[in-house]
Amino acid sequence: MMSTGNGPEIAILGGGIGGLAAAAFLRAKGLGSDIYEQAPALTAVGAGLVIAPNAARLLRRLGVLDRFVERAVRLEIGWEFRRWEDGAVLSAENLEEGCVRLYGEHTYTAHRADLLAALRSAVPEHSIHLGKRCVSVEFEDGQAVLRFEDGEMVRPDILIGADGVHSRVRSAVVGPTQARESGICAFRALVPARKAPEFARRPAQTLWIGPDHHLVHYPVSGEEYVNLVAFAPAGADTVESWTATATLGELLDEFAGWDPRLVELITAADTPARWALLDREPLDHWNRGNATLLGDAAHPMFPFFAQGAAQAIEDGAVLALCLAADPGNPIGALGRYQELRRRRTARLQQVSHGRSHINHLPDGPEQQARDLAYSQADPLRTNGWIYEYDPEVAVSASV
């Protein structure tokens, strides 16, 4: 592990969005860190994502927003809900005007690889260690010890577990946590824009909702592709993995009988990935000794509010602020970080969970009431508690 100067030696396990964001925010506060990532390269697993104003604001503070928007797509329309059988628009929001007016930033969609590249540009290359597969996380006298497959052992002053939904650090911090089957699986695929119907090429985030299913699409990668994410009942053999695949025929079967325009979009997709959504309760605590959790390791959530990446970025910002404010008391700083972040992320876990039922209602009176409510809703204002959040304000207010 490399020296971090006069500050604590900080190890970050996981080089995804959360790990890179934490390293970037720590560096901005004058604190060094070392990222240990098991993959031989930081890859593009995960396809598309949404960067709402709360996350865009933090990318700007890091100085990487300009790089990010080179390939990101600025949304003009969002929360465009369409009925499954005929594409009737139930509601739509003007994000181009509303986001800046209300929250000072735009909303973007992007390929995960483009967000990773932007964050990585704010992290020194020498601090990123690839091909480092962690085989154990243990505590000796209250201090975390990392052991890697290549035989290296690391005893950091601070350990940040940003190692995802199957986190080794989480298991060491809180013990085994049992996930429940949600009954939902997700498909994801990319469609070359040249093959996509015109309605899918618009700078819009569109959600088609119907019985037991819904499907989201938006352009990514400088509008070269349309990202498609679909949700359907899970089969018994569906696994929780970003790399498992399905066939295009299986995805088409799930949406048989839906609007022909949507079927046309699905038909143009590449081989879809498929994974199970497992249901996890919010954790009671994230810390043990000198170790803490961040991102999906701390608060995996259903993707129905498109806030997974944003919350990992917020985690990194708050953690860096807490450690910079109290560098001589890292354990106290980790406790403050947990206190500031746990309530907000637990609330997002809960509201994201609830949306799965609402979006998948069968046709009937409850569905009709939902559609009427959507037509009268104002998601930009309703979700203000999400989009207006500012880590610096939150940390200052807690003093």
Up-side HSE of residue 159: CA atoms within 13 Å toward CB? 30
Q: Is 213 helix (H, G, I), strand (E, B) or coil?
A: strand
> Residue for token digits 């701390």?
298
Indicate the residue type of 146. L
Question: Which member of 218, 337, 387, 389 is catalytic?
Answer: 218
Q: Is 200 helix (H, G, I), strand (E, B) or coil?
A: helix
Indicate the residue type of 124. P
As a whole number of angstroms, the distance between CA 395 and CA 390 comes to 9
Query: What is the distance in angstroms between the CA of the first residue and the CA of the last residue of the chain?
Result: 33
As a whole number of angstroms, the distance between CA 294 and CA 20 comes to 11
> Residue for token digits 């985690």?
315
As a whole number of angstroms, the distance between CA 19 and CA 294 comes to 8
Q: Is 219 helix (H, G, I), strand (E, B) or coil?
A: strand
Beta bridge partners of 192: 225
19 burial via Cβ count (<10 Å: 0-12, 13-18, 19+): buried
Q: Is 103 a catalytic residue?
A: no
Q: Is 379 helix (H, G, I), strand (E, B) or coil?
A: helix
Joined together, the tokens standing for residue 301 give 């959530």
Q: What share of the chain is helix, strand, coil (3-state, %, to 5)?
A: 40, 25, 35
Tell me, rounded to whole angstroms, the distance of Cα 29 from its chain centroid.
Answer: 24
Judge whether 225 and 193 are in contact, CB under 8 Å. yes
| H or E stretch covering 22 | helix 17-28
Which residues are catalytically annotated? Answer: 218
